């Protein structure tokens, strides 16, 4: 095992896959000469050259569309979005092209691409640069949506995403880039569609992904002081969703809280709440409660930002509610 950051883990995954398979290439804004806006692609252009680590103009639809076209004819592009906030400009390529051409062609076309980059709230960058869009992508049949919360998961899941033959939306989190964790030194992958228990417990199930796992783990520590043992389940992949691990946990704890950085209205947590109430109805001792961002655009001020986001304290409060404490 090596103790590395999420940033290094993602860099390693891409480099290893590019060494392994000449059809893998990377493109995006500032990925080459600048070494990555968030330094994720550090050193890659030196190793692979400008055609395989392609600096692009600020043109998100072209970045996504070039990835889609190259994938249609057998390449395995990784399209970096400087942040997923800008993926809105590329949405037509993802939703109408990457996700649909296989279906519309009756199975003739495949689109083995990855779109990756940071998503979720950053620090004080206001409404247009601090958004969680996983619910948008998870809504679309034809896509795979991955949201890692640890360096190990990021590396193993990204390697699977690059090798997979479907379009994968791989959403990282800027705040987690410096998070350190143990990562195996030998070759490994983690299958897509496999959830993970990030903390075992018996009193309540907290479902959380990406940065929300941090909120959940911090809440679990606070709750432990009170004698409440929370189990934190991280789906890791939102589409397809490994619901069984969530159900198993809820059947054990009889209570469920879902934490997400996205907006409450039509957010992905509602999908989990829907499945849990349907499949675990007899086990539930309380309604499923969701802790989400506020249904407003992200404000700039530090104080308002804190009020907007899910916080460990808000998770603790939600757990108290499902425990009727």
Residues classed as catalytic: 60, 129
Q: Which two tokens stand for residue 113?
A: 């691409």
**DSSP letter, residue 128:** T
Helix (H) / strand (E) containing 68: helix 60-72
- Which residues are CB-contacts of 28 (< 8 A; sequence separation ≥ 6)? 41, 54, 55, 56, 63, 79, 80, 81, 82, 117
Nearer to other proteins, 164 or 305 (CB): 164
Note whether 208 and 234 are within 8 A (CB): yes
Q: What's the min distance (Å) between Cβ of 162 and other proteins?
A: 9
Nearer to other proteins, 143 or 228 (CB): 143
Note whether 243 and 253 are within 8 A (CB): no
Neighbours of 296 (CB within 10 A): 11
Q: What's the min distance (Å) between Cβ of 243 and other proteins?
A: 7
Give me the residues that bind other proteins (CB under 8 A), please: 25, 51-52, 54, 56-57, 59, 61-62, 64-75, 77, 92-93, 96-97, 101-110, 112, 141-142, 144, 160-161, 163-166, 189, 191-194, 237, 240-244
DSSP per position, 10-30: HHHHHHHHHHH-TTEEEEETT
Between CA 201 and CA 230 the distance in angstroms is: 5
Q: What's the min distance (Å) between Cβ of 123 and other proteins?
A: 31
Between CA 306 and CA 277 the distance in angstroms is: 30
Nearer to other proteins, 7 or 236 (CB): 236
Q: Which two tokens stand for residue 104?
A: 């519309």
Cis peptide before 133 (omega within 30 of 0): no
Q: What's the min distance (Å) between Cβ of 41 and other proteins?
A: 18
Between CA 65 and CA 91 the distance in angstroms is: 10
The edge-to-edge listing of strands for the beta sheet with 144-146 is: 53-55, 24-28, 76-80, 114-119, 168-173, 144-146, 237-239
Which residue shows structure tokens 């407003």?
Answer: 296
Nearer to other proteins, 31 or 66 (CB): 66
Q: Which two tokens stand for residue 320?
A: 């108290």
Nearer to other proteins, 77 or 310 (CB): 77
Nearer to other proteins, 165 or 285 (CB): 165
Q: What's the min distance (Å) between Cβ of 188 and other proteins?
A: 13
How long a stretch of residues is the chain?
325
Q: What's the min distance (Å) between Cβ of 158 and other proteins?
A: 11
**DSSP letter, residue 254:** S
Q: What's the min distance (Å) between Cβ of 283 and other proteins?
A: 19
Pairing assessment for the beta strands 230-234 and 196-199 based on DSSP bridges: antiparallel
Nearer to other proteins, 27 or 259 (CB): 27
């Amino acid at each position: 095992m090596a103790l590395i950051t999420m940033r290094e883990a993602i860099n390693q995954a891409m480099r290893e896959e590019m060494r392994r398979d000449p059809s893998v290439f990377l493109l995006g804004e500032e990925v080459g000469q600048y070494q990555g806006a968030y330094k994720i692609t550090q050193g890659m252009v030196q190793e692979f050259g400008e055609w395989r680590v392609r600096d692009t103009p600020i043109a998100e639809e072209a970045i996504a569309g070039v990835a889609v076209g190259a994938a249609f004819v057998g390449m395995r592009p990784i399209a970096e979005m400087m942040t997923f906030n800008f993926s809105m400009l590329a949405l037509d390529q993802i939703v109408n092209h990457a996700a649909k051409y296989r279906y519309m062609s009756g199975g003739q076309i495949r689109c083995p691409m990855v779109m990756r980059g940071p998503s979720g709230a950053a620090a004080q960058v206001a409404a247009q640069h601090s958004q969680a869009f996983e619910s948008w992508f998870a809504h679309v049949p034809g896509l795979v949506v991955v949201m890692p919360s640890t360096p190990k998961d990021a590396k193993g899941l990204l390697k699977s995403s690059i090798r997979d033959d479907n379009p994968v939306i791989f959403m990282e989190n800027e705040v987690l880039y410096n998070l350190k964790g143990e990562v195996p030194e030998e070759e490994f992958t983690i299958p897509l569609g496999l959830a993970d228990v990030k903390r075992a417990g018996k009193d309540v199930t907290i479902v959380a992904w990406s940065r929300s796992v941090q909120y959940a783990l911090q809440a679990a520590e606070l709750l432990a002081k009170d004698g409440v043992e929370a189990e934190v389940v991280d789906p890791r992949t939102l589409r397809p969703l490994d619901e069984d691990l969530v159900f198993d946990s809820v059947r054990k704890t009889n209570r469920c809280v879902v934490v997400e950085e996205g907006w409450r209205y039509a957010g992905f947590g509602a999908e989990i709440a829907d499945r849990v109430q349907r499949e675990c109805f007899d086990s539930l001792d309380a309604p499923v409660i969701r802790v989400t961002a506020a249904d407003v655009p992200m404000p700039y001020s530090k104080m308002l930002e804190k009020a907007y986001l899910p916080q460990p304290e808000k998770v603790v409060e939600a757990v108290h509610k499902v425990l009727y404490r």
